Amino acid sequence: MNVLNHLSVWLSFQLSIIFFIGIPVTLSFWSIRKRNKAVNKLLSIYWKTSILFFISLLLLIGEYNYALLVTNIATLLMTISVWFWNDINDELKEYDFYYALTTTTKVWRWSLSFISLNFLTQSLQNFSCFYIINSTACKIWLQPTSNLYIIIKNLFNFLFGANFTQPIAKFLGLFSLLIYILGLLQWSMIKLPKNGRNSCFSEHGRN
pLDDT in tens, 28-72: 999 999 999 999 999 999 999 999 999 999 999 999 999 999 999
pLDDT in tens, 114-123: 999 988 998 8
What are the structural domain ranges in the chain? 2-204
Instruction: Give percent of the chain above pLDDT 90.
Output: 63
Three-state secondary structure readout of 80-143? HHHHCCHHHHHHHHCCCCCCHHHHHHHHHHHHHHHHHHHHHHHHHCCHHHHCCCCCHHHHHHHH
Q: Is the pTM of this model over 0.85?
A: yes
Instruction: Give percent of the chain above pLDDT 70.
Output: 96
| 207 has pLDDT over 50 | no
Please tell me the predicted confidence (pLDDT) of residue 2: 67
Please tell me the predicted confidence (pLDDT) of residue 203: 64
